[in-house]
Structure 1
Amino acid sequence: MLNTSVAAIISTISGLLEAGTRPWVKPWDGGTGLTGMPLRHNGVEFTGSNRFWLMLKNLEHSSPYWLTYKQAQELGGQVRKGEKSCHALLATTSVKEKPEASDGEMDIRRFYKTYPVFNADQIEDLPSSFYPTTLANDKTAHEVTAEAIALRQKLDRFPITRIVGNSAYYSPAQDLICLPPAADFHTLQDAFATELHELIHATGANHRTGRRQALKEKKWTSGETYYAYEELVAELGSIIASYWLGIPPNQSVMENHASYLDSWSKLMTDRPTSFLTASHLAEQAAQYLMKTIGEAPANDDELIEEAA
């Protein structure tokens, strides 16, 4: 049973999906020039569901930093009078031995609650680094091309067969990804985002993370539910990896959004905790991808599972 605050967060995201909006893909480029990812008081990224929930709340502010009242005070800041907090998610795990188990089998359960945080915009007298300064995007065409070549070289490190076709997909049976020619995309950014989506699918193979098989074996998983879950993981995981690689998504990663949005909305209605689980799996998939191509985030060991 979810508490009221957690249920409200899930309901908000579900409502945006029902309205035809992918709330975690917004035009951040051309903004502050900062990461776009929500950050804790110490500069470490929020993880799991908090990434996407606070990315949505970031649209109301110019700073990516979120702090508790106590953290703000410890840094010499003061929340302005009348400012309202936002709830962040906190996951806790309960591990108990099953009463009927004779072999020491453990009953592991995950619980969710929330705690209040404030954006740095709502807090006075914090160090200047908490308040963003707008940066001009003045890269030359040569610099953009050089970055694209470097990114291409990084993604090519992922050991998988690539073929060119008229659609984008990952084939589990053949362990390959098919992608349209880069020239068929509106921008190189979209081409890379689509490839990342398919690569996140590929991380779930049995000889990698084993996510796909684990999902299929869930008692609650029908073919339709599994499909929606796996696509949601690929969507969220590709967004995480995109930001880590410096290509925040500004357009659609997939062609047929309407069907995806409908399936995700239905999934969240049928299983309210599905977004929490998918966020957690996406986090694992993105980290696996980055480590495989030798680009693990600098603070990878600090990306603790504070959230789902």
Structure 2
Amino acid sequence: MSTPLDDLMADIIARIEAGTPPWRQAWSQAGADPALPLRANGEPFTGSNSWLLFFAGALRGYGSPYWFTFRQALAIGAPVAKGAKGSLAILYKTRVVEDGCGGEAGDPVGEDADPKVMRYLKTYAVFNADQLTDCPERFRAAPAVDPAVRAAAHNAILDAIPAQIDYGGGQPCYIPSRDLIRLPAPEAFHSVDDFLATKAHEQLHWSGAALRLNREFGRRFGDAAYAFEELCAEIGAAALGLRIGLRPQLLDSHAAYLAHWARILKDRPGALLEASGHAQRAVDFLLAFSQPADAAASLAA
């Protein structure tokens, strides 16, 4: 059965098969900086919408982080350009089903039946500022960021994560049996961003240990379980980069998984949503270490 997300999924699979995952494509241009997708009022999109619009913007080469509904575009006097194709955003809804009504055959009914909370999603179209006619200049680019402040944020957030890291050797990895991250020395990387992106990727793996988020995919993915964990870490590192302004890097050691990822997404159409859900939980878990106690509690709620 087709879904409103099929076109986006096909684009993502095609880009992976071509050798460039879409969560990296947006930053291939020199000087480009990552930015969270923003609503018309400047608030960032959250959850699935954050990465869905991030992917859509990357695939279509949009330079603005701002997204509008058709009516929001009219409200600022910048109507959607004729023929422009919208991108999908998701609106999650819940419905309480009382007394077993609407359940599956064989479900209990009557006064003793427990109410069920059913979740479903609806989609709606949004348009990037680049797709609007005469869009005001303030929506055409991401808000300016002080590079020194951004660099300090990188270090403050990644350094707050209490993973044990050993430096030395030539291959970055997370060793589950020792609960240890191993990284080459920082000066061995081509750039600071390469080092930080690799560190973030391995910290995403660290978050999945049994005593933390307990990510285990063997039963559902079999021989592809390790590749799926790499996909979760890749998307998670990109999502973490969006939150802290870290430009994603295409790491050679992970490029080998491209064919596995394309096959997983073709065989299991819901796998990208599943991987992104695990990635988002991992990002929230890691960010909590650098948040004040009250903010961390709110993040976990």
Task: Assess same fold via TM > 0.5.
Answer: yes
State how 1:152-167 maps to structure 2 within 5 Å: 152-164=155-167, 165-167=169-171
Distance in 2, Cα, partners of 1:49 & 1:254: 27
275-284 or 110-119, which deviates more: 110-119
Question: 1:257 and 2:255 equivalent?
Answer: yes
Counterpart amino acid of 2:66?
A: Y
Identity %: 36
Distance in 2, Cα, partners of 1:105 & 1:123: 49
User: Structure 1 pair 156/79, CA: closer, same or farther in 2 (3 Å)?
Assistant: closer
Give the total of aligned pairs.
287
CA contact (8 A) 2:154 2:245 kept: no
State how 1:130-279 maps to structure 2 within 5 Å: 130-132=139-141, 151-164=154-167, 165-210=169-214, 212-213=215-216, 215-216=217-218, 219-222=219-222, 224-249=223-248, 251-258=249-256, 260-279=257-276
State how 1:31-180 maps to structure 2 within 5 Å: 31=31, 35-58=34-57, 59-92=60-93, 100=106, 111=120, 113-124=122-133, 128-132=137-141, 151-164=154-167, 165-180=169-184
Counterpart amino acid of 2:6?
A: A
CA contact (8 A) 1:28 1:36 kept: no
1:232-271, Cα deviation, whole Å (9 max, x unpaired): 110011111122222212x32352403x101111110110
Task: Tell me the TM-score normalised to structure 2 length.
Answer: 0.79
Gaps in structure 2 of 5+ consecutive residues: none
CA contact (8 A) 1:170 1:198 kept: yes
CA contact (8 A) 1:233 1:281 kept: yes
Gaps in structure 1 of 5+ consecutive residues: none
Distance in 2, Cα, partners of 1:79 & 1:244: 28
Distance in 2, Cα, partners of 1:52 & 1:174: 32
Match of 1:290 in 2: 287
User: Structure 1 pair 105/283, CA: closer, same or farther in 2 (3 Å)?
Assistant: farther
CA contact (8 A) 2:16 2:22 kept: yes
Distance in 2, Cα, partners of 1:147 & 1:81: 38
| CA RMSD of superposed structures (Å) | 3.6
Structure having the larger proportion of residues in helix: 2
Counterpart amino acid of 1:272?
A: P
Distance in 2, Cα, partners of 1:156 & 1:32: 25
